[in-house]
Amino acid sequence: MKKTFLIFFIFIGQLFALDLNFNTFSSNFTQIVKSKNSTLSYSGHFILSKDQAYWSYDTPSKKEIYINKNQVTIVEHDLEQVIFSHLDNIPNLNEIFKKASLIDKDKLVAKYDNINYTIKLNQEQIQSISYKDEFENDVIINLNNQIKNPKINSDVFKAKIPQNYDIVR
């Protein structure tokens, strides 16, 4: 599941960097992951810059994810732990969008690494991204309250790590 989250974060960050003209971007999101036996729903907000991302999950549990290029820090409040990770296999999203096809004025499809992505637009803004992940889960991410180029304090991209949390590397 963590790999699914990380691929999505990198995907959305690169999507906005390549497809929309902006320096920073923020949005609220809901993410629904459906497997054969269950459906999980997540919500929160994210802030992106060209090289960094901050994701805050509010439900079902509080979690923050900080991405700086290919370095990832995940603060898991329910587990009182912080996970440091390095992404070696980041999808080549330039290739995804070179191969993307406009199905109609509000829908794009792209295939990369045997994963098909559907991107739905509304008035040239991304409304949702859906795909089937490597575990055969159906993933739908809906965006709302999108803001292009908000002023962002760079401190938002620095992980806030409580002293009593366990560190996992």
Instruction: Supply the CATH number for residue 161's domain.
Output: 2.50.20.10
Is the Cβ–Cβ distance between 46 and 54 less than 8 Å? yes
Confidence band of 98 (pLDDT split at 50, 70, 90): low
- The pTM for the full model equals 0.76
Q: Within a 13 Å sphere around the CA of 91, how many CA atoms are in the beta-carbon half?
A: 27
Domain range for 10: 2-95+134-168
Lowest mean pLDDT among 98-102, 114-118, 158-162: 98-102
Closest-CA residue to 149 (of 67, 56, 49): 49
Confidence band of 102 (pLDDT split at 50, 70, 90): confident
Token digits of residue 75 = 């603060």
Total number of domains in the chain: 1
> What's the rounded Cα separation, in Å, for the pair 14 and 22?
12
**Bridge partners, 117 (sequence order):** 110, 131
Q: Is the per-residue pLDDT at 91 higher than 60?
A: no
Q: Is the per-residue pLDDT at 42 higher than 50?
A: yes
Token digits of residue 12 = 């959305």
Count of beta carbons in the 10 Å neighbourhood of residue 71? 13
Domain-embedded: residue 87: yes
